[in-house]
């Protein structure tokens, strides 16, 4: 019988230990005077919180305009190229100009300068006239697409500003071009 009592006593002791371990323990914190206790739950951990949004400020009208000008120049900046001694627009040039017209419609505040260029062959006077005809061809095509000629300015540089300083057909083909720049 002594063994039965001992077994029962051990069983009760195990139950008390198990119940005692399962209950939450109350702890008393000794905090300095004036300190505030902050409760933190598992949901409040920093790694789960989204990063705070950066402080945003509104842009000035000049900054907005400068950004729009940069975007418009990037979209308008593609050059078009011409055949030797020609100011006729190629199908590829017409596609580029169509894209430019859409950009100019989107950015109605800006005007465009069309610069006509030529290769080094021919006299300066002839190349200035050819560069002007090339710029006018682009201007007229943009006008047909709905861009008012008042928004376009043409300039001819003739052979004075080559893109490629070489003296062969590869260089000359790069120099026979119209360039487009945002004016204001």
Q: What is the pLDDT of residues 14-65, one digit of tens each?
A: 666 666 656 555 555 555 555 555 555 555 545 455 555 555 567 777 777 7
Q: Is residue 2 part of a domain?
A: no
Residue 175 belongs to a domain: yes
The pLDDT value given to residue 33: 59
Q: Does the residue 73 lie in any domain? A: yes
pTM: 0.62
Q: What confidence category does residue 175 fall into, taking pLDDT thresholds of 50, 70 and 90?
A: very high
Q: Within a domain: residue 46?
A: no
For the stretch 116-130, pLDDT in tens is 999 999 999 999 999
Category of 98 on φ-ψ map: left (φ > 0), alpha (ψ -120 to 50) or beta = alpha
pLDDT in tens, 51-61: 555 555 677 77
* Secondary structure (3-state) at 161: coil
Which pair of structure tokens corresponds to residue 99? 């894209």
Q: Quick check: is 118 in a domain? A: yes
Domain-embedded: residue 36: no
Q: Which pLDDT score is estimated for 90? A: 94
- Residue 96: helix, strand or coil by DSSP? helix
Domain holding 169, by residue range, is 61-182
Q: How far is CA 72 from CA 52, 100, 163, 179, in A?
A: 33, 9, 22, 14
158 domain residue, yes or no: yes
The count of structural domains within the chain is: 1
Quote the CA–CA distance of 135 and 112 in Å, as a whole number.
11
Residue 80 carries which DSSP code? E
Q: Is 41 helix (H, G, I), strand (E, B) or coil?
A: coil
Arithmetic mean of pLDDT, 112-119: 94
For position 157, which CATH number holds? 3.30.1330.60
Alpha-carbon span 51 to 120, nearest angstrom = 59
Highest mean pLDDT among 9-13, 77-81, 90-94: 90-94
Does residue 108 lie in a domain region?
Answer: yes
Q: What is the DSSP letter of 46?
A: G
| Cβ-based neighbour number of residue 76 at 10 Å | 21
Beta bridge partners of 155: 115
Rg (CA), the chain: 39
Averaged pLDDT of the chain: 80
């Amino acid at each position: 019988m002594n063994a039965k009592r001992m077994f029962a006593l051990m069983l009760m002791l195990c139950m008390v230990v198990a119940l005692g371990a399962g209950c939450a323990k109350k702890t008393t914190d000794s905090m300095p005077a004036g300190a505030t206790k902050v409760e933190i739950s598992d949901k409040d951990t920093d790694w789960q919180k989204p990063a705070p949004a950066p402080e945003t400020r509104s842009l000035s009208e000049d900054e907005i305009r400068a950004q729009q000008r940069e975007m418009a120049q990037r979209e308008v900046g593609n050059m078009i190229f011409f055949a030797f001694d020609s100011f006729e627009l190629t199908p590829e040039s017409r596609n580029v100009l169509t894209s430019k017209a859409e950009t100019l419609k989107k950015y109605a505040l800006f005007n465009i300068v069309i610069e006509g260029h030529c290769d080094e062959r021919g006299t300066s006077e002839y190349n200035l006239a050819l560069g002007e005809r090339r710029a006018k061809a682009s201007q007229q095509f943009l006008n047909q697409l709905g861009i008012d000629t008042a928004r376009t300015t043409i300039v001819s540089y003739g052979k004075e500003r080559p893109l490629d300083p070489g003296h062969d057909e590869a260089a000359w083909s790069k120099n026979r071009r119209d360039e487009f720049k945002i004016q204001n």
